[in-house]
Each structure stands twice: as C-alpha cells, then as structure tokens.
Copies of this chain bind each other. A is one copy, B any other.
Amino acid sequence: MKIAGLIAHTKGPSFKPIALLVVVAAIAVAAALSTAARADGEAAPIFGIKIPPGYRDWKLISVAHEEGNLNDLRAILGNDVAIKAYREGKLPFPDGAIIARLAWSYVSSEENNKVFGRQQSFVAGPPTNLQFMVKDSRKYASTGGWGFAQFNHGKPADEALLKTCFPCHEPIKARDFLFTHYSP
C-alpha cells in the first residue's frame, strides 16, 4: 500500500484536501484487506464454510429464546445482502446472503431482578455456539441453495451434526428454509 507515493502525485496546495481523501480511501482499503485476511479459521465440514469476518458487526434480523436442551437467548444477524432481501421480502434469497445465528446461555440476572424487585430478567450469559447459513444456489443446490455451519468456541462442529441442519430447515421451504422472520 504505497500511500506516500499516492500523496506525491497530488502536488500543489489546492490539492491537499484531495490528497487527504486519497489517503483516507487507501487506509480504508488496507483495513478491509486486513479484516479479510483474518478469515483464516478452520472450515466446517461438508459445506466448507469458515467464520465470516466481521459477522459480529452485521445488522439485526431478530431475536429468540429456545427452551429445552438449547436453553439459550439468540440473535440472528445478516450481512447486507441478507438484510436487503429480508427487508424487501424477496424470495429466494440471492447468492451471497449470509445469516449468522449467535447464541448465549439463558441466565437469570440477579442484578436486574434486584432493581425490578422481582424475578423477571433473563440475559445473555456465556456464548454457546455460532451458526451460519450461506446462500450459494449452485454450490449448495442439494440443500436448498444453503450451506450450513456451526462453530463451538471457534471450532467447527462435526459432519454428523451438520447433516441434521437441512432436514430440520426443509419444512420451511416456502420461506427459503429460514425460520426467522424479520423484526421491525
């Protein structure tokens, strides 16, 4: 990234703000490249999906609570392609859409309950696991165009678990296999 070189080409006092813009743009590109380079984790089996860089910054689709063995609080986030499709109500989702499902253990908050004066507040505890659905209609044609991945503290879940993803999502075919509705 030859920032000094870029500045040298924009001579004269009247171009200083433009030189600054170029430097800002160059830094932005460098930052984007450095973020992309961080996607070096282990890929999940079957679908070959790695944890997408920057997923924690994605926009919110909705939230949910699962009881039973899962016993979690979850947030469903989407990359820009997914959010656009959700908001426009377009089905099927376009290639490039990625849904991230973050989950944390379901914890009673003593701190909050003390303030409320009653047992009513449940908050997100430690993370449980992380799931992704990646749309690629060719690559994942046999599973409705979606690839599935799960990571437990950064480590991909095994093949046996990933084989259970699509059969579970299959009944929601009419909504392109997505359980989650967008919450305004």
Contacts and interface: CB of A to CB of B under 8 A. Distances in A.
A112 B179 contact: yes
A90 interface: no
A90 B18 CA distance: 34
A22 interface: yes
Number of copies of this kind of chain in the complex: 2
Interface string A56-72: 11011011111110100
Interface in A55-103: 56-57, 59-60, 62-68, 70, 73-75, 77, 102
Given A18-B18, A66-B122, A115-B168, 10 more contacts: A21-B21, A60-B75, A63-B104, A64-B73, A64-B121, A64-B122, A65-B65, A68-B118, A70-B120, A104-B183
28 contacts: A18-B21, A18-B22, A21-B21, A21-B25, A56-B60, A57-B59, A60-B60, A62-B124, A63-B74, A64-B73, A64-B109, A64-B122, A65-B65, A66-B120, A66-B121, A68-B118, A75-B75, A75-B183, A102-B183, A104-B183, A111-B179, A112-B179, A115-B168, A115-B172, A123-B180, A124-B181, A124-B183, A127-B183
